[in-house]
Amino acid sequence: MASTARLRQAGVVGLALTVLFGVVMGMLWAWQRQLIYFPDTAPVRPAGEAIGDARDVTLRTSDGLELGAWFVPAQDGTAQGDPAMPMAVLVAPGNGGNRAGRAGLADELSRRGLAVLLMDYRGYGGNPGSPSEDGLTADALAAAAALDELGFPPQRTIYFGESLGTGVVAGLAKRRPPAGIVLRSPFPDLAAVGAHHYPLLPVRLLLRDRFPVLEDLSGSRVPTTVIYGGADSVVPTAQSARVADEVPNLFERLVVEGADHNDPVMFGGRVADATVRLARAVSGASGR
């Protein structure tokens, strides 16, 4: 009798734990995007107040959203090495903040002779909508289309992805190959980062937004620069190094020793210089 009672009690406890586990997994499934995207939703000031000759542009997505972005013209059309073949950089940011936080990088690139489109995703910087992998892909396609209208088709554009943005530009490059790609603090896929930060959770089973960087670039012939910090606490340095090891057409690997994910140096001159080196290398080829 006592044995039966103990078995029944164990069964009740087991059922309760199973239900609790299911509830936790269900909550993680439902709320996982709150663990991925950290938008600054506040509207940003006009572009010209943040960066010299910059101007506001509107990105129109395939699902009907109108998103704010900044276009920053090149300050010196000869700095990239081929004045007859001007180049632009499409900057796809990481998962936090908004475009105002990338103004310094845009200015660094502009001063080196590259035009820049600073996009903000849906839900960021006063934009409508909520972020998701499919949504960010649509936003990036709209940004590429806007650059095309401004005179910079993909063959005259560098896609620059920062952190989560590396997944965005990898997916964009699969659909619209550019002249070159810069991956700053990339990961093989988003699940790899999630598994690092949440080792006890079945991240690969739960994750809806995957951003498979290496998979999307597996057949790419686009010259690619990979930049990462040597002390990154967000995207492990080893994961970025793996991307550099496995990306099909590596142009340059730049390791910023001692730098963490969001240190100022990761938005500064060394990163801009590496982008210019890639632009110079591909500008002639893009014109053929």
What per-residue confidence (pLDDT) applies to 73? 96
Reported as a pLDDT band with limits 50, 70 and 90, residue 42 is confident
β-strand partners of 66: 60
Taking Cα atoms as reference points, which of 143, 141, 121 lies closest to residue 132? 121
Reported as a pLDDT band with limits 50, 70 and 90, residue 23 is very low
What percent helix, strand, coil does the chain show, rounded to 5? Answer: 45, 20, 35
What are the boundaries of each domain within the chain?
43-286
Per-residue model confidence as pLDDT tens digits over 206-260: 788 899 999 999 999 999 999 999 999 999 999 999 999 999 999 999 999 999 9
For range 75-104, the mean pLDDT: 80
CB 163 within 8 A of CB 183: no
Asked if pLDDT for residue 78 goes beyond 50, the answer is: no
Strands of the chain, DSSP E: 38-39, 55-60, 66-72, 88-92, 96-97, 115-119, 157-162, 180-184, 224-229, 250-256
Reported as a pLDDT band with limits 50, 70 and 90, residue 36 is confident
Fold adopted by 43-286: Rossmann fold (3.40.50)
What per-residue confidence (pLDDT) applies to 13? 47
What per-residue confidence (pLDDT) applies to 19? 43
What per-residue confidence (pLDDT) applies to 243? 98
Element (H, E) at 19: helix 2-31
- List of residues 6+ apart from 60 with CB closer than 8 A: 66, 67, 142, 145, 146
CB 255 within 8 A of CB 185: no
User: How far is residue 112 CA from its own chain's centroid?
Assistant: 22
Asked if pLDDT for residue 153 goes beyond 70, the answer is: yes
Count of residues making up the chain: 288
Reported as a pLDDT band with limits 50, 70 and 90, residue 27 is very low
Asked if pLDDT for residue 264 goes beyond 80, the answer is: yes
What per-residue confidence (pLDDT) applies to 202? 75
Query: Is pTM beyond 0.85 here?
Result: yes
